[in-house]
Chains A and B, each alone.
Chain A
Amino acid sequence: MAHAADFELIESTRPALDARRASRPKPASKRWRGAVLPLLALALWWSVSETGISRSGLLVSPQQVWHTGIEQIASGALWRALSASLARELTGFALGTAGGLVLGSLLGFSRLAERVLGPSFNTFKQISLFAWIPLISVWFGLGDAAKVVFLSLAALLPVVAHVSDGIRNVSPELLEVARVYRYTRWQVVVRVVLPAALPSVFTGIYLALIYSWLATLGAEYLLVAGSGIGNMLIDGSEQFRMDLVLFGIVVIGVVGWALNAGARLLERRVFAHRSR
Protein backbone atom coordinates (compact mmCIF):
# COMPACT_ATOMS: atom_id res chain seq x y z
CA MET A 1 0.00 0.00 0.00
CA ALA A 2 2.98 2.23 0.54
CA HIS A 3 3.45 2.33 -3.19
CA ALA A 4 -0.17 3.34 -3.68
CA ALA A 5 0.02 5.97 -0.99
CA ASP A 6 2.95 7.96 -2.25
CA PHE A 7 1.45 8.89 -5.58
CA GLU A 8 -1.91 9.74 -4.11
CA LEU A 9 -0.14 12.83 -2.94
CA ILE A 10 0.67 13.82 -6.47
CA GLU A 11 -2.50 12.57 -8.02
CA SER A 12 -5.10 13.82 -5.64
CA THR A 13 -4.33 17.02 -3.85
CA ARG A 14 -4.77 19.28 -6.84
CA PRO A 15 -8.41 18.59 -7.70
CA ALA A 16 -9.38 18.58 -4.03
CA LEU A 17 -7.82 21.99 -3.61
CA ASP A 18 -9.44 23.26 -6.79
CA ALA A 19 -12.84 22.10 -5.59
CA ARG A 20 -12.41 23.96 -2.34
CA ARG A 21 -11.24 27.06 -4.13
CA ALA A 22 -14.23 27.01 -6.48
CA SER A 23 -16.75 26.77 -3.65
CA ARG A 24 -15.21 29.57 -1.61
CA PRO A 25 -17.44 32.69 -1.66
CA LYS A 26 -16.32 35.73 -3.62
CA PRO A 27 -14.67 38.53 -1.64
CA ALA A 28 -17.10 41.18 -0.38
CA SER A 29 -15.62 43.92 -2.57
CA LYS A 30 -16.61 41.97 -5.69
CA ARG A 31 -20.01 40.98 -4.39
CA TRP A 32 -21.08 44.61 -3.88
CA ARG A 33 -20.27 45.64 -7.45
CA GLY A 34 -23.84 44.74 -8.45
CA ALA A 35 -25.18 47.36 -6.01
CA VAL A 36 -23.35 50.27 -7.63
CA LEU A 37 -25.87 50.96 -10.39
CA PRO A 38 -29.03 50.91 -8.21
CA LEU A 39 -27.33 53.19 -5.65
CA LEU A 40 -26.36 55.63 -8.39
CA ALA A 41 -29.90 55.62 -9.76
CA LEU A 42 -31.27 56.25 -6.26
CA ALA A 43 -28.84 59.16 -5.79
CA LEU A 44 -29.83 60.68 -9.16
CA TRP A 45 -33.53 60.32 -8.36
CA TRP A 46 -33.07 61.88 -4.96
CA SER A 47 -31.02 64.82 -6.32
CA VAL A 48 -33.51 65.47 -9.12
CA SER A 49 -36.48 65.62 -6.76
CA GLU A 50 -34.48 67.62 -4.14
CA THR A 51 -33.22 70.30 -6.50
CA GLY A 52 -36.73 70.76 -7.82
CA ILE A 53 -35.81 70.41 -11.49
CA SER A 54 -39.04 68.51 -11.92
CA ARG A 55 -42.12 69.71 -10.09
CA SER A 56 -44.39 67.37 -12.01
CA GLY A 57 -46.67 65.08 -10.01
CA LEU A 58 -45.36 62.24 -12.17
CA LEU A 59 -42.11 62.23 -10.25
CA VAL A 60 -42.31 61.74 -6.53
CA SER A 61 -39.37 61.91 -4.18
CA PRO A 62 -37.74 58.88 -2.58
CA GLN A 63 -38.75 60.17 0.82
CA GLN A 64 -42.40 60.19 -0.20
CA VAL A 65 -42.16 56.58 -1.42
CA TRP A 66 -40.46 55.68 1.84
CA HIS A 67 -43.26 57.25 3.90
CA THR A 68 -45.93 55.57 1.81
CA GLY A 69 -44.14 52.29 2.38
CA ILE A 70 -44.05 52.79 6.15
CA GLU A 71 -47.73 53.73 6.11
CA GLN A 72 -48.71 50.71 3.99
CA ILE A 73 -46.81 48.38 6.27
CA ALA A 74 -48.18 49.96 9.44
CA SER A 75 -51.79 49.89 8.26
CA GLY A 76 -51.50 46.23 7.26
CA ALA A 77 -52.54 47.04 3.70
CA LEU A 78 -49.26 45.76 2.31
CA TRP A 79 -49.52 42.52 4.23
CA ARG A 80 -53.10 41.93 3.02
CA ALA A 81 -52.11 42.52 -0.60
CA LEU A 82 -48.88 40.54 -0.37
CA SER A 83 -50.40 37.55 1.39
CA ALA A 84 -53.23 37.39 -1.15
CA SER A 85 -50.73 37.49 -4.03
CA LEU A 86 -48.34 34.99 -2.47
CA ALA A 87 -51.12 32.57 -1.55
CA ARG A 88 -52.26 32.67 -5.17
CA GLU A 89 -48.76 32.29 -6.55
CA LEU A 90 -47.93 29.35 -4.29
CA THR A 91 -51.23 27.58 -4.97
CA GLY A 92 -50.79 27.96 -8.70
CA PHE A 93 -47.13 26.99 -8.47
CA ALA A 94 -47.92 23.86 -6.45
CA LEU A 95 -50.74 22.73 -8.74
CA GLY A 96 -48.80 23.48 -11.91
CA THR A 97 -45.64 21.78 -10.66
CA ALA A 98 -47.51 18.68 -9.51
CA GLY A 99 -49.26 18.42 -12.87
CA GLY A 100 -45.98 19.12 -14.65
CA LEU A 101 -44.17 16.35 -12.78
CA VAL A 102 -46.85 13.83 -13.73
CA LEU A 103 -47.13 14.89 -17.36
CA GLY A 104 -43.37 15.33 -17.76
CA SER A 105 -42.65 11.88 -16.32
CA LEU A 106 -45.26 10.37 -18.62
CA LEU A 107 -43.69 12.05 -21.67
CA GLY A 108 -40.18 11.11 -20.52
CA PHE A 109 -40.74 7.46 -19.68
CA SER A 110 -43.38 6.37 -22.16
CA ARG A 111 -42.56 6.41 -25.80
CA LEU A 112 -46.24 5.94 -26.59
CA ALA A 113 -47.23 8.96 -24.50
CA GLU A 114 -44.49 10.97 -26.17
CA ARG A 115 -45.81 10.04 -29.60
CA VAL A 116 -49.45 10.69 -28.72
CA LEU A 117 -49.13 13.75 -26.45
CA GLY A 118 -45.77 15.20 -27.51
CA PRO A 119 -46.84 17.07 -30.67
CA SER A 120 -49.97 18.48 -29.00
CA PHE A 121 -47.98 19.65 -26.01
CA ASN A 122 -45.34 21.28 -28.20
CA THR A 123 -48.03 23.16 -30.12
CA PHE A 124 -49.78 24.15 -26.89
CA LYS A 125 -46.45 25.49 -25.59
CA GLN A 126 -46.24 27.94 -28.49
CA ILE A 127 -49.49 29.68 -27.61
CA SER A 128 -48.84 32.75 -25.51
CA LEU A 129 -50.14 32.27 -21.99
CA PHE A 130 -52.05 35.54 -22.18
CA ALA A 131 -54.07 34.23 -25.09
CA TRP A 132 -55.83 31.93 -22.61
CA ILE A 133 -57.01 34.83 -20.45
CA PRO A 134 -60.31 35.49 -22.28
CA LEU A 135 -61.17 31.79 -22.20
CA ILE A 136 -60.21 31.46 -18.56
CA SER A 137 -62.24 34.50 -17.57
CA VAL A 138 -65.30 33.14 -19.32
CA TRP A 139 -64.93 29.69 -17.75
CA PHE A 140 -63.72 30.61 -14.29
CA GLY A 141 -64.78 34.25 -13.83
CA LEU A 142 -62.47 36.97 -12.54
CA GLY A 143 -61.90 35.64 -9.03
CA ASP A 144 -59.18 33.57 -7.43
CA ALA A 145 -60.11 30.36 -9.25
CA ALA A 146 -59.37 31.91 -12.64
CA LYS A 147 -56.08 33.37 -11.40
CA VAL A 148 -54.93 30.07 -9.95
CA VAL A 149 -55.76 28.29 -13.21
CA PHE A 150 -53.70 30.84 -15.11
CA LEU A 151 -50.77 30.52 -12.69
CA SER A 152 -50.88 26.74 -12.79
CA LEU A 153 -50.64 26.90 -16.56
CA ALA A 154 -47.62 29.20 -16.30
CA ALA A 155 -45.91 26.83 -13.86
CA LEU A 156 -46.87 23.66 -15.73
CA LEU A 157 -45.07 24.35 -19.01
CA PRO A 158 -41.43 24.65 -17.83
CA VAL A 159 -41.82 21.68 -15.46
CA VAL A 160 -43.18 19.40 -18.19
CA ALA A 161 -40.45 20.41 -20.64
CA HIS A 162 -37.57 20.00 -18.18
CA VAL A 163 -38.79 16.83 -16.52
CA SER A 164 -39.32 15.00 -19.81
CA ASP A 165 -35.99 16.26 -21.18
CA GLY A 166 -34.15 15.27 -18.01
CA ILE A 167 -35.56 11.75 -18.12
CA ARG A 168 -34.93 11.27 -21.81
CA ASN A 169 -31.36 12.63 -21.67
CA VAL A 170 -30.04 10.21 -19.07
CA SER A 171 -26.60 9.15 -20.22
CA PRO A 172 -26.77 5.80 -22.07
CA GLU A 173 -23.34 5.00 -20.61
CA LEU A 174 -24.76 5.07 -17.09
CA LEU A 175 -27.77 3.02 -18.18
CA GLU A 176 -25.31 0.47 -19.52
CA VAL A 177 -23.55 0.33 -16.15
CA ALA A 178 -26.93 -0.45 -14.60
CA ARG A 179 -27.37 -3.21 -17.18
CA VAL A 180 -23.95 -4.68 -16.34
CA TYR A 181 -24.96 -4.93 -12.70
CA ARG A 182 -28.35 -6.42 -13.59
CA TYR A 183 -30.55 -3.63 -12.30
CA THR A 184 -34.26 -4.31 -12.59
CA ARG A 185 -36.48 -1.80 -14.41
CA TRP A 186 -37.56 -0.36 -11.10
CA GLN A 187 -33.97 -0.04 -9.91
CA VAL A 188 -33.02 1.69 -13.15
CA VAL A 189 -35.82 4.23 -12.67
CA VAL A 190 -35.21 4.90 -8.98
CA ARG A 191 -31.42 4.51 -8.84
CA VAL A 192 -30.30 5.89 -12.19
CA VAL A 193 -32.93 7.82 -14.15
CA LEU A 194 -34.41 9.90 -11.32
CA PRO A 195 -31.08 10.98 -9.77
CA ALA A 196 -29.68 11.73 -13.21
CA ALA A 197 -32.75 13.78 -14.17
CA LEU A 198 -32.91 15.63 -10.85
CA PRO A 199 -30.88 18.72 -11.87
CA SER A 200 -33.09 19.21 -14.91
CA VAL A 201 -36.24 18.64 -12.83
CA PHE A 202 -35.01 21.24 -10.37
CA THR A 203 -34.42 23.76 -13.17
CA GLY A 204 -37.99 23.19 -14.32
CA ILE A 205 -39.39 23.77 -10.84
CA TYR A 206 -37.20 26.82 -10.38
CA LEU A 207 -38.47 28.31 -13.63
CA ALA A 208 -42.03 27.46 -12.57
CA LEU A 209 -41.55 29.46 -9.39
CA ILE A 210 -40.27 32.50 -11.31
CA TYR A 211 -42.86 32.23 -14.10
CA SER A 212 -45.73 31.86 -11.67
CA TRP A 213 -44.66 34.99 -9.79
CA LEU A 214 -44.49 36.95 -13.03
CA ALA A 215 -47.85 35.50 -14.03
CA THR A 216 -49.34 36.49 -10.67
CA LEU A 217 -48.92 40.13 -11.62
CA GLY A 218 -50.31 39.48 -15.09
CA ALA A 219 -53.32 37.73 -13.64
CA GLU A 220 -54.01 40.53 -11.17
CA TYR A 221 -53.87 43.12 -13.93
CA LEU A 222 -55.98 41.24 -16.40
CA LEU A 223 -58.45 39.45 -14.14
CA VAL A 224 -59.16 42.44 -11.92
CA ALA A 225 -60.94 41.42 -8.77
CA GLY A 226 -60.00 41.00 -5.13
CA SER A 227 -56.82 42.15 -3.49
CA GLY A 228 -53.18 41.69 -4.33
CA ILE A 229 -49.98 43.48 -5.14
CA GLY A 230 -51.14 43.94 -8.72
CA ASN A 231 -54.33 45.57 -7.49
CA MET A 232 -52.28 47.87 -5.31
CA LEU A 233 -50.47 49.07 -8.44
CA ILE A 234 -53.74 49.52 -10.34
CA ASP A 235 -55.23 51.48 -7.45
CA GLY A 236 -52.14 53.67 -7.31
CA SER A 237 -52.25 54.48 -11.01
CA GLU A 238 -56.00 55.13 -10.94
CA GLN A 239 -55.62 57.52 -7.97
CA PHE A 240 -52.57 59.11 -9.58
CA ARG A 241 -50.45 58.11 -6.59
CA MET A 242 -47.01 57.49 -8.06
CA ASP A 243 -45.59 56.86 -4.59
CA LEU A 244 -47.90 53.86 -4.19
CA VAL A 245 -47.03 52.56 -7.67
CA LEU A 246 -43.31 52.86 -7.05
CA PHE A 247 -43.60 51.23 -3.66
CA GLY A 248 -45.53 48.34 -5.26
CA ILE A 249 -42.79 47.89 -7.84
CA VAL A 250 -40.15 47.74 -5.12
CA VAL A 251 -42.14 45.11 -3.24
CA ILE A 252 -42.57 43.01 -6.40
CA GLY A 253 -38.86 43.21 -7.07
CA VAL A 254 -37.95 42.20 -3.53
CA VAL A 255 -40.34 39.24 -3.58
CA GLY A 256 -38.98 38.06 -6.95
CA TRP A 257 -35.44 38.42 -5.69
CA ALA A 258 -36.27 36.48 -2.52
CA LEU A 259 -37.91 33.64 -4.43
CA ASN A 260 -34.91 33.46 -6.76
CA ALA A 261 -32.38 33.53 -3.94
CA GLY A 262 -34.30 30.91 -1.95
CA ALA A 263 -34.43 28.56 -4.92
CA ARG A 264 -30.72 29.04 -5.64
CA LEU A 265 -29.82 28.38 -2.03
CA LEU A 266 -31.87 25.20 -2.02
CA GLU A 267 -30.32 24.10 -5.31
CA ARG A 268 -26.82 24.64 -3.94
CA ARG A 269 -27.69 22.59 -0.86
CA VAL A 270 -29.23 19.73 -2.84
CA PHE A 271 -26.52 19.53 -5.49
CA ALA A 272 -23.58 20.56 -3.31
CA HIS A 273 -21.58 17.45 -4.21
CA ARG A 274 -22.27 17.46 -7.93
CA SER A 275 -20.07 19.02 -10.52
CA ARG A 276 -21.84 21.75 -12.36
Chain B
Amino acid sequence: MSELLSRAEKSIKRGIKQSIKRSVKQGIKQGAEESIKRSVEPDRANDLQIRHVSKNYAQPSGNLAVLEDIGLDVAAGEFVSVVGASGCGKSTLLRLIAGLGAEFDGTIRLDGQAVAGTSLARGIVFQEHRLFPWLNVEQNIGVALRNSGLDAAQKRRAIAEHIELVGLVGFEHAYAHQLSGGMAQRVGIARGLVNRPSVLLLDEPFGALDALTRSRLQGELQRIWAQERITMVLVTHDVEEAVFLGDRVVVMQPRPGRVKRVVDVPMARPRNRSDPEFIRIRDDVLREFAEPGGLVDAASSTTVPTSPRAWPPHADTVDSPITSWRLAW
Protein backbone atom coordinates (compact mmCIF):
# COMPACT_ATOMS: atom_id res chain seq x y z
CA MET B 1 0.00 0.00 0.00
CA SER B 2 2.58 2.50 1.08
CA GLU B 3 4.93 1.31 -1.64
CA LEU B 4 2.23 2.04 -4.20
CA LEU B 5 1.70 5.47 -2.76
CA SER B 6 5.36 6.35 -2.93
CA ARG B 7 5.60 5.09 -6.49
CA ALA B 8 2.60 7.24 -7.43
CA GLU B 9 4.27 10.21 -5.79
CA LYS B 10 7.40 9.78 -7.81
CA SER B 11 5.55 9.79 -11.10
CA ILE B 12 3.66 12.93 -10.11
CA LYS B 13 6.93 14.56 -9.10
CA ARG B 14 8.41 13.96 -12.51
CA GLY B 15 5.34 15.41 -14.22
CA ILE B 16 5.26 18.79 -12.56
CA LYS B 17 8.22 21.04 -13.08
CA GLN B 18 7.80 24.17 -11.04
CA SER B 19 6.31 24.48 -7.59
CA ILE B 20 6.47 20.79 -6.88
CA LYS B 21 4.01 19.32 -4.50
CA ARG B 22 5.50 16.49 -2.57
CA SER B 23 3.46 14.22 -0.43
CA VAL B 24 5.16 13.32 2.74
CA LYS B 25 4.09 10.36 4.71
CA GLN B 26 4.71 9.16 8.16
CA GLY B 27 4.71 5.51 9.05
CA ILE B 28 2.66 5.83 12.18
CA LYS B 29 0.21 8.40 10.96
CA GLN B 30 -0.52 6.75 7.66
CA GLY B 31 -2.71 8.71 5.33
CA ALA B 32 -1.94 12.03 6.97
CA GLU B 33 -0.42 13.78 4.03
CA GLU B 34 0.94 17.25 3.93
CA SER B 35 2.52 19.06 1.07
CA ILE B 36 5.49 21.33 1.21
CA LYS B 37 6.86 23.63 -1.41
CA ARG B 38 10.46 23.73 -2.40
CA SER B 39 12.03 26.03 -4.93
CA VAL B 40 14.53 23.51 -6.20
CA GLU B 41 13.82 20.03 -7.43
CA PRO B 42 16.29 17.36 -6.38
CA ASP B 43 17.90 15.72 -9.38
CA ARG B 44 17.71 12.23 -7.92
CA ALA B 45 14.70 10.33 -6.83
CA ASN B 46 16.06 8.45 -3.85
CA ASP B 47 13.84 8.22 -0.86
CA LEU B 48 14.83 7.02 2.54
CA GLN B 49 12.12 4.75 3.90
CA ILE B 50 12.05 3.65 7.49
CA ARG B 51 9.31 1.10 8.21
CA HIS B 52 8.37 -0.46 11.54
CA VAL B 53 11.88 -0.23 12.89
CA SER B 54 12.28 -1.55 16.42
CA LYS B 55 15.39 -2.31 18.38
CA ASN B 56 15.88 -4.02 21.71
CA TYR B 57 18.93 -4.36 23.86
CA ALA B 58 19.13 -7.54 25.91
CA GLN B 59 19.80 -6.66 29.53
CA PRO B 60 20.06 -8.76 32.68
CA SER B 61 16.78 -7.23 33.88
CA GLY B 62 15.04 -8.08 30.63
CA ASN B 63 14.73 -6.57 27.20
CA LEU B 64 15.21 -2.83 26.89
CA ALA B 65 13.23 -1.40 24.02
CA VAL B 66 15.27 1.41 22.49
CA LEU B 67 13.19 1.97 19.39
CA GLU B 68 9.60 0.92 18.86
CA ASP B 69 7.90 0.85 15.50
CA ILE B 70 9.59 3.86 13.96
CA GLY B 71 8.17 4.89 10.61
CA LEU B 72 9.52 7.79 8.61
CA ASP B 73 9.94 8.66 4.97
CA VAL B 74 12.46 11.22 3.86
CA ALA B 75 12.11 12.51 0.33
CA ALA B 76 15.11 13.11 -1.88
CA GLY B 77 16.69 16.45 -1.14
CA GLU B 78 14.71 16.90 2.04
CA PHE B 79 16.18 18.06 5.35
CA VAL B 80 14.66 16.24 8.30
CA SER B 81 15.55 17.06 11.89
CA VAL B 82 15.04 14.49 14.61
CA VAL B 83 14.77 16.02 18.04
CA GLY B 84 14.33 14.36 21.39
CA ALA B 85 15.59 14.00 24.91
CA SER B 86 18.68 11.88 25.43
CA GLY B 87 17.75 8.24 25.63
CA CYS B 88 14.93 8.55 23.11
CA GLY B 89 16.94 6.48 20.65
CA LYS B 90 17.44 9.20 18.07
CA SER B 91 21.15 8.50 17.72
CA THR B 92 20.48 4.77 17.64
CA LEU B 93 18.07 5.36 14.77
CA LEU B 94 20.69 7.35 12.90
CA ARG B 95 23.29 4.63 13.43
CA LEU B 96 20.86 2.06 12.08
CA ILE B 97 20.39 4.17 8.95
CA ALA B 98 24.18 4.45 8.63
CA GLY B 99 24.47 0.68 8.88
CA LEU B 100 26.50 0.83 12.08
CA GLY B 101 23.91 -0.82 14.31
CA ALA B 102 23.58 -4.54 14.73
CA GLU B 103 20.29 -6.36 14.23
CA PHE B 104 16.96 -4.59 14.28
CA ASP B 105 13.38 -5.35 13.29
CA GLY B 106 11.68 -3.66 10.38
CA THR B 107 13.21 -2.30 7.23
CA ILE B 108 15.27 0.70 6.24
CA ARG B 109 15.52 1.30 2.51
CA LEU B 110 17.47 3.88 0.61
CA ASP B 111 16.53 4.22 -3.02
CA GLY B 112 14.74 0.90 -2.79
CA GLN B 113 17.78 -0.92 -1.41
CA ALA B 114 17.60 -2.40 2.07
CA VAL B 115 20.29 -1.14 4.42
CA ALA B 116 22.78 -3.85 5.39
CA GLY B 117 26.11 -2.61 6.71
CA THR B 118 27.74 0.66 5.86
CA SER B 119 27.77 2.14 2.38
CA LEU B 120 29.44 5.07 0.69
CA ALA B 121 25.92 6.16 -0.34
CA ARG B 122 25.25 7.07 3.28
CA GLY B 123 27.61 9.65 4.73
CA ILE B 124 27.74 10.41 8.43
CA VAL B 125 29.04 13.24 10.58
CA PHE B 126 29.57 12.44 14.24
CA GLN B 127 29.34 14.69 17.28
CA GLU B 128 33.10 14.42 17.78
CA HIS B 129 35.01 15.29 14.63
CA ARG B 130 36.74 11.88 14.60
CA LEU B 131 39.56 13.08 12.39
CA PHE B 132 42.68 10.94 12.20
CA PRO B 133 45.29 12.92 14.18
CA TRP B 134 48.16 11.75 11.98
CA LEU B 135 46.54 13.06 8.78
CA ASN B 136 46.05 16.63 7.63
CA VAL B 137 42.77 18.14 6.43
CA GLU B 138 43.24 16.99 2.84
CA GLN B 139 44.21 13.48 3.84
CA ASN B 140 41.38 13.22 6.34
CA ILE B 141 38.84 14.01 3.64
CA GLY B 142 40.67 11.50 1.45
CA VAL B 143 39.95 8.80 4.05
CA ALA B 144 36.39 8.72 2.73
CA LEU B 145 37.58 8.25 -0.86
CA ARG B 146 39.95 5.34 -0.28
CA ASN B 147 37.42 2.78 -1.50
CA SER B 148 35.49 5.08 -3.81
CA GLY B 149 37.02 3.76 -7.01
CA LEU B 150 38.06 7.23 -8.15
CA ASP B 151 41.51 7.71 -9.63
CA ALA B 152 44.10 9.94 -7.99
CA ALA B 153 43.28 13.03 -10.06
CA GLN B 154 39.55 12.69 -9.43
CA LYS B 155 40.20 12.29 -5.72
CA ARG B 156 42.34 15.41 -5.65
CA ARG B 157 39.65 17.38 -7.43
CA ALA B 158 36.87 16.08 -5.16
CA ILE B 159 38.90 16.92 -2.06
CA ALA B 160 39.70 20.43 -3.29
CA GLU B 161 36.06 21.07 -4.17
CA HIS B 162 34.88 19.99 -0.75
CA ILE B 163 37.50 21.97 1.09
CA GLU B 164 36.17 24.99 -0.74
CA LEU B 165 32.57 23.98 -0.03
CA VAL B 166 33.14 24.01 3.73
CA GLY B 167 35.26 27.16 3.58
CA LEU B 168 38.64 25.72 4.59
CA VAL B 169 40.75 26.88 1.65
CA GLY B 170 44.23 27.59 3.00
CA PHE B 171 43.97 24.91 5.71
CA GLU B 172 44.56 21.89 3.48
CA HIS B 173 47.73 20.91 5.30
CA ALA B 174 46.63 21.64 8.87
CA TYR B 175 46.40 18.79 11.36
CA ALA B 176 43.41 18.20 13.60
CA HIS B 177 45.05 19.66 16.70
CA GLN B 178 45.73 22.89 14.83
CA LEU B 179 42.04 23.37 14.04
CA SER B 180 39.35 24.89 16.21
CA GLY B 181 36.34 22.71 17.07
CA GLY B 182 34.23 24.39 14.42
CA MET B 183 36.86 23.95 11.72
CA ALA B 184 37.39 20.31 12.63
CA GLN B 185 33.66 19.74 12.30
CA ARG B 186 33.74 21.40 8.86
CA VAL B 187 36.34 18.83 7.85
CA GLY B 188 33.98 16.17 9.22
CA ILE B 189 31.19 17.53 7.03
CA ALA B 190 33.47 17.63 3.97
CA ARG B 191 34.51 14.02 4.67
CA GLY B 192 30.84 13.04 4.93
CA LEU B 193 29.96 14.72 1.64
CA VAL B 194 32.98 13.96 -0.52
CA ASN B 195 31.57 10.66 -1.77
CA ARG B 196 28.43 12.48 -2.95
CA PRO B 197 26.21 10.25 -0.80
CA SER B 198 22.46 9.98 -1.35
CA VAL B 199 21.92 10.95 2.25
CA LEU B 200 24.08 12.68 4.84
CA LEU B 201 23.41 11.68 8.43
CA LEU B 202 24.34 14.19 11.11
CA ASP B 203 24.57 12.94 14.68
CA GLU B 204 24.46 16.07 16.86
CA PRO B 205 27.28 17.52 14.79
CA PHE B 206 27.32 20.86 16.58
CA GLY B 207 26.59 19.54 20.08
CA ALA B 208 30.13 20.05 21.34
CA LEU B 209 30.63 23.53 19.92
CA ASP B 210 30.20 26.88 21.61
CA ALA B 211 27.00 28.82 20.89
CA LEU B 212 28.52 31.28 18.47
CA THR B 213 30.33 28.69 16.36
CA ARG B 214 27.25 26.49 16.46
CA SER B 215 24.94 29.13 15.01
CA ARG B 216 27.52 29.94 12.33
CA LEU B 217 27.86 26.33 11.33
CA GLN B 218 24.09 25.91 11.27
CA GLY B 219 23.97 28.69 8.69
CA GLU B 220 26.82 27.07 6.78
CA LEU B 221 25.14 23.69 6.81
CA GLN B 222 21.98 25.25 5.42
CA ARG B 223 23.95 26.85 2.61
CA ILE B 224 25.72 23.57 1.84
CA TRP B 225 22.43 21.70 1.82
CA ALA B 226 20.78 24.22 -0.51
CA GLN B 227 23.83 24.15 -2.77
CA GLU B 228 24.40 20.41 -2.88
CA ARG B 229 20.78 19.21 -2.65
CA ILE B 230 21.74 16.14 -0.69
CA THR B 231 19.15 14.58 1.59
CA MET B 232 20.07 15.25 5.18
CA VAL B 233 18.89 13.76 8.45
CA LEU B 234 20.00 15.69 11.51
CA VAL B 235 19.74 14.33 15.03
CA THR B 236 19.87 16.97 17.74
CA HIS B 237 18.57 17.89 21.15
CA ASP B 238 18.54 21.56 20.24
CA VAL B 239 14.97 22.45 19.26
CA GLU B 240 15.94 25.75 17.69
CA GLU B 241 18.58 24.05 15.56
CA ALA B 242 16.03 21.45 14.47
CA VAL B 243 13.50 24.09 13.41
CA PHE B 244 16.13 26.35 11.85
CA LEU B 245 17.43 23.62 9.56
CA GLY B 246 14.61 21.15 8.97
CA ASP B 247 11.87 20.94 6.38
CA ARG B 248 10.26 18.80 9.01
CA VAL B 249 11.00 18.24 12.66
CA VAL B 250 10.45 14.73 13.98
CA VAL B 251 9.84 14.80 17.72
CA MET B 252 10.79 11.58 19.47
CA GLN B 253 9.94 10.46 22.97
CA PRO B 254 11.81 8.00 25.12
CA ARG B 255 11.16 4.64 26.81
CA PRO B 256 10.73 3.19 24.32
CA GLY B 257 11.90 5.52 21.57
CA ARG B 258 8.99 6.44 19.34
CA VAL B 259 7.99 9.18 16.96
CA LYS B 260 5.66 11.44 18.88
CA ARG B 261 4.90 14.06 16.32
CA VAL B 262 6.14 15.45 13.05
CA VAL B 263 6.06 19.22 12.71
CA ASP B 264 6.28 20.90 9.31
CA VAL B 265 8.40 23.99 8.94
CA PRO B 266 6.98 25.65 5.82
CA MET B 267 9.34 28.60 5.93
CA ALA B 268 11.61 29.99 3.26
CA ARG B 269 15.37 29.94 3.75
CA PRO B 270 17.50 31.47 5.08
CA ARG B 271 15.40 31.58 8.18
CA ASN B 272 15.40 34.30 10.76
CA ARG B 273 15.45 33.04 14.34
CA SER B 274 13.43 36.05 15.52
CA ASP B 275 10.73 35.75 12.87
CA PRO B 276 7.35 35.39 14.69
CA GLU B 277 6.50 32.36 12.56
CA PHE B 278 9.84 30.75 13.46
CA ILE B 279 9.20 31.40 17.13
CA ARG B 280 5.70 29.99 16.88
CA ILE B 281 6.93 26.73 15.34
CA ARG B 282 9.81 26.48 17.77
CA ASP B 283 7.49 26.94 20.73
CA ASP B 284 5.12 24.43 19.23
CA VAL B 285 7.95 21.86 19.21
CA LEU B 286 9.19 22.91 22.64
CA ARG B 287 5.74 22.32 24.08
CA GLU B 288 6.17 18.64 23.28
CA PHE B 289 8.85 18.58 25.96
CA ALA B 290 6.92 20.64 28.47
CA GLU B 291 5.87 17.84 30.79
CA PRO B 292 8.03 15.06 32.14
CA GLY B 293 7.55 12.08 29.88
CA GLY B 294 6.20 14.43 27.25
CA LEU B 295 2.89 12.59 27.04
CA VAL B 296 0.62 15.56 27.54
CA ASP B 297 -1.32 17.06 24.61
CA ALA B 298 0.10 20.21 23.10
CA ALA B 299 -3.26 21.96 23.50
CA SER B 300 -3.65 21.27 27.21
CA SER B 301 -0.20 22.55 28.17
CA THR B 302 -0.73 26.26 27.70
CA THR B 303 0.09 26.90 31.33
CA VAL B 304 3.67 25.66 31.15
CA PRO B 305 6.25 28.41 30.72
CA THR B 306 7.01 27.29 27.18
CA SER B 307 3.78 28.89 25.99
CA PRO B 308 4.33 31.63 23.39
CA ARG B 309 2.94 34.33 25.65
CA ALA B 310 5.51 33.59 28.32
CA TRP B 311 8.44 34.29 26.04
CA PRO B 312 10.16 37.68 25.87
CA PRO B 313 8.70 40.10 23.31
CA HIS B 314 9.22 39.07 19.72
CA ALA B 315 11.99 41.52 19.03
CA ASP B 316 13.07 41.11 15.45
CA THR B 317 16.34 42.97 15.87
CA VAL B 318 18.32 40.64 18.10
CA ASP B 319 18.65 36.90 17.86
CA SER B 320 17.75 35.25 21.10
CA PRO B 321 20.66 33.46 22.74
CA ILE B 322 20.84 29.96 21.39
CA THR B 323 21.87 28.38 24.63
CA SER B 324 18.60 29.14 26.36
CA TRP B 325 16.78 27.06 23.79
CA ARG B 326 18.90 24.00 24.20
CA LEU B 327 17.12 21.40 26.20
CA ALA B 328 19.55 20.39 28.84
CA TRP B 329 19.10 16.67 29.13
Contact = CB atoms under 8 A, between A and B. Distances in A.
Nearest to B148: A181
Contacts of A21: none
Contact of B147 (A4, A182, A195, A273): A182
A80 interface: no
A4 B186 CA distance: 11
Given A19-B178, A273-B175, A195 B132 contact: yes
Interface in A1-44: 1, 3-5, 7-8, 11-12, 14-16, 19
B100 A8 contact: no
A173 B126 contact: yes
A173 B128 contact: yes
Nearest to A14: B180
Contacts, number: 83
Nearest to A7: B216
A11 B220 CA distance: 14
A182 B118 contact: yes
A180 B133 contact: no
B118 A179 contact: yes
Interface residues on B, range: 35 or more
Given A8-B167, A176-B100, A180-B118, A275 B176 contact: yes
B134 A273 contact: yes
A183 interface: yes
B120 A177 contact: no
Interface string A233-276: 00000000000000000000000000000000000000001110
A198 interface: yes
Given A8-B167, A19-B177, A182-B119, A273 B130 contact: no
A274 B133 contact: yes
Given A4-B220, A180-B124, A183-B147, A11 B180 contact: yes
Main secondary structure of the interface of B (DSSP, over half): loop
Interface residues of A, number: 32
Nearest to A18: B178
B28 interface: no
A198 B132 CA distance: 13
Contact of B146 (A7, A183, A273, A275): A183
Given A179-B118, A182-B119, A187-B146, A11 B134 contact: no
Interface in A164-180: 173-174, 176-180
Contacts of A7: 216
B183 interface: yes
A55 interface: no
A1 B164 CA distance: 8
Interface in B130-145: 130, 132-134, 136, 143-144
B178 A16 contact: yes
B164 A177 contact: no
5 closest Cβ pairs, A-B complex: A4-B167, A275-B177, A273-B175, A195-B134, A182-B147
Given A4-B220, A16-B174, 12 more contacts: A8-B168, A8-B170, A11-B182, A11-B183, A173-B128, A173-B130, A180-B98, A180-B100, A181-B144, A183-B146, A192-B132, A275-B133
10 contacts: A12-B180, A14-B180, A173-B128, A178-B143, A179-B118, A180-B123, A181-B143, A273-B134, A273-B136, A275-B133
Interface of A: 1, 3-5, 7-8, 11-12, 14-16, 19, 173-174, 176-184, 187, 191-192, 195-196, 198, 273-275
